[in-house]
Structure 1
Amino acid sequence: MASSDLTFVLGGARSGKSVHAEQLAASSGRKVTYIATARVADREFAARVAHHRERRPGTWKLVEAPVDLAAALAAADAPDGCVLIDCLTLWLANLLCPPDGDYDDEPTPDHHTAFGAFEAALAGARGQVIVVSNEIGLGVVPLGAETRHYVDELGRLNQRVAALCANVTMMVAGLPLVLKSSAASANTSADNRADT
């Protein structure tokens, strides 16, 4: 059964998904922990990260988890807290394409093992969790086996997370399209009880 405190926000590049997720976290009234999955590899990406950082309230705690997302979520989770994870897309890239650079963090696990551990941490969360991911499978079939593998694995990961979450929103041009809502489920259950 999906938890009403689990929210999944999907969208394409520059769809407004991160801003929407940040607004949800800010309106939660809880202490927010922001889990960033990005690895900064160049100047352009560093500017993107800085833009995200400037937008967030200074009171939010930051945790960087480019590989062990399950452990980061388990450590940040609290009944009165809100965890915002941004994003699964970069996390999967870190799992499938570990850097050759001078990163000295933990070894990269098999992505299927990492998926299972993250899914278990998400299912066991006691507080509010908001997860952000890209929807990249709406275009043509990409060229190259590696790219197709990445698109397929992200689609599978997104499906697993969406199944656990009671609230799923797709962002398009800055507009939220609700795909799944705990409020709608509660209203449907109340309507069904009224009919009996």
Structure 2
Amino acid sequence: MSITRRQKEVLDFISSFVERNGYSPSFEEIAHGLSLRSLATVHKHITNLQEKGLLQREHNRSRSIDVTPPRSQSIHNSELPLLGRIAAGQPLEAVETTESISMSDIVGNREVFALQVRGDSMRDEHIVDGDYVFVERVSTAHEGDIVVALVRGSETTLKRYYVEGARVRLQPSNAEMAPIYVPASQVAIQGRVLGVMRKY
């Protein structure tokens, strides 16, 4: 990922500021620290670094400029050209576009890991043996989420998650398979599925 000398200075300044103070610098502090006269220039550098996946920002929170961890950068920066749409029904006119699709469209600024699927318990969700799922690392889930669940402290499984009183139902998406019922105290959520990738 190529960045300008000034962008590198901004990135380094933010990193060292957070390390020293435990919170992010304001635009004014960045401008003062780098002898920049215009806050608009600071904003431009921050925006460019965000677009390159090197910074993340929450617009509704002050002092919310965070340096993206290196592990996340490698997946965020993967980008492929999106050349158009392809019909899976009636043929469409072939029109090439100049768009691209990035891993950050799926991942965003979340902490994400990938797992290779073994088995066909989720085949009705079009997740089959050999696929790769992108999983957001979380410890809680909503009803119906597809989750990575640690069961009884030793077994992990990919299922839809439902709470039923004092127990959890881990529901396969395969009509030939029965749900798994486990006491809620024996289930730990390790992540929530964001997307799936298949190699042919």
- TM-score normalised over the length of structure 2: 0.23
Give the structure, 1 or 2, with the largest relative contact order (CA under 8 Å, sep 6 or more). Answer: 1
Structure having the higher Rg: 2
